[in-house]
Homo-oligomer: A and B are copies of this chain.
Amino acid sequence: MNKKITIAIDAMGGDNSPNKTLNGVGIFLKENKNKKDFFLNLYGEKDKIQNELSNLKISSDQIKIIHTDAQVNDNETPLTAIKNSKNTSMWKCINSQLEGEADISLSAGNTGVLLVISKMILKMMNDVSKPALAGLWPNQKGMNVVLDLGANIECNEDNLVDFAEMGSALFKSIFVNEKPLVSLLNIGSEEIKGTETLKKAYKKLNELSNDNNFIFKGYIEGNKMMDGDSNVIVTDGFTGNIALKTAEGTAKFITDNLKKSLTQNLFTKFSLIFSYFSLKTFKEKLDPRKYNGAIFLGLNGPVVKSHGGIDALGFYHSIDLCYKIVKGDLIKQIKNNLNHLKK
């Protein structure tokens, strides 16, 4: 496929933007300086963006600025935003997919508003029962896709089956040479454990397993998610959100305590010099910025949400994720996977 990839970027969303977003754009351009198969369309206040770009010494014929007057406020609720946000960088950035001007949209702005206006503008795919928010998690062998992370607090078995198909499509679009191994998050690995909804979803996924889309590995417990024996973890949005945030909190707690121990007195500070390189490798491997970007699945176009508080390097990883998703033809993969359910 030699088609050009166009990524629509909300340059104004998130903390410290457009500095953060444009810095991220700069890193992406630098890392991909030999690739000519992409364009980055930047939505936001033209003057501000132009100033910032020249401050950062970023110039490229692969970027384009599209001026917008307003931006979505952090305090805006989804309800008020529908009325107020038509002229915002976020709205225009998503809307550009509808007009065929972009293949994917990326924003670090207000999550609730992003989900609602994405659904309004791009509409749900015909065969999807509910859209879902998917994220990437590190595991011992590489990366997991986990979904839903909070788009739907209650889900039935058909929603969970859709999530499995969409999550597998996402996994295949990012990791083209790997087979999706799907598991259902539960409180035990035996077939008799869990809610009625999970038992019904288990049965359906078992019947769909081993086809071209994915292999179903059964239930998985929270402590096994990072082992790498499954790479697509399916759950409802309530449980997924709790699991994701608990993992974040635990990781932060441990690394904060590690830092404290390593700097508590002169001797430990001195020893830090010697363990600098080993700790650097450790830190790089687990850097949360590498996993930045939740993907909103089930709409007629893909939308990626970057963490609002992430820095430029984190935002760069979101742009990179957008590039991979379009390159891997996510939407076609999802349509193909969902088609299979109709048999």
- Which chain B residue lies CB-closest to A222? B245
Which B residues lie within 8 Å of A223 (CB)?
245-246, 248-249, 252
Which B residues lie within 8 Å of A55 (CB)?
none
Interface-side segment among A11-19, A80-88, A119-127, A235-243: A235-243
- Which chain B residue lies CB-closest to A244? B222
Interface residue A51 (Cβ < 8 Å from any Cβ of B): no
Query: For the complex, what is the distance from the CA of A285 to the CA of B277, rounded to whole Å?
Result: 24
B253 touches A275 (CB 8 A): no
Interface size on A, as a range, is 35 or more
Interface residue A47 (Cβ < 8 Å from any Cβ of B): no
- Which chain B residue lies CB-closest to A276? B271
Which B residues lie within 8 Å of A226 (CB)?
249-250, 252-253
B274 touches A245 (CB 8 A): no
Q: Contact mask A167-211 → B, CB, 8 Å, 1/0?
A: 000000000000000000101000000110000000000000000
- Which chain B residue lies CB-closest to A195? B153
A246 contacts which of B139, B238, B247, B274 (Cβ < 8 Å)? Answer: B247
Q: Can you tell how many copies of this chain the complex includes?
A: 2
Query: For the complex, what is the distance from the CA of A194 to the CA of B241, rounded to whole Å?
Result: 11
B277 touches A140 (CB 8 A): no
A246 touches B222 (CB 8 A): yes
B222 touches A241 (CB 8 A): yes
Chain A residues touching B, majority SS = helix
Interface residue A154 (Cβ < 8 Å from any Cβ of B): yes
Which B residues lie within 8 Å of A274 (CB)?
270-271, 273-275
Which B residues lie within 8 Å of A237 (CB)?
187
- Which chain B residue lies CB-closest to A237? B187
Which B residues lie within 8 Å of A239 (CB)?
238-239, 242
Query: For the complex, what is the distance from the CA of A253 to the CA of B225, rounded to whole Å?
Result: 10
Given A272-B275, A277-B268, A281-B261, does the pair A243, B241 have CB atoms closer than 8 Å? no
Within 8 A of B (CB), among A324-343: none
Which B residues lie within 8 Å of A59 (CB)?
none
- Closest beta carbon of chain B to A106's beta carbon, Å: 23
Given A242-B222, A250-B226, A275-B272, does the pair A150, B187 have CB atoms closer than 8 Å? yes
- Closest beta carbon of chain B to A263's beta carbon, Å: 8
Which B residues lie within 8 Å of A254 (CB)?
250-251, 254-255, 286
- Closest beta carbon of chain B to A223's beta carbon, Å: 4
Query: For the complex, what is the distance from the CA of A298 to the CA of B227, rounded to whole Å?
Result: 35
14 additional A-B residue pairs with CB within 8 Å, beyond A195-B238, A223-B245, A262-B278: A153-B194, A153-B195, A221-B245, A226-B253, A235-B242, A247-B250, A251-B254, A257-B286, A258-B258, A260-B282, A261-B282, A264-B278, A268-B281, A271-B276
In order of increasing CB-CB distance, the 3 nearest A-B pairs are A222-B245, A222-B246, A268-B278
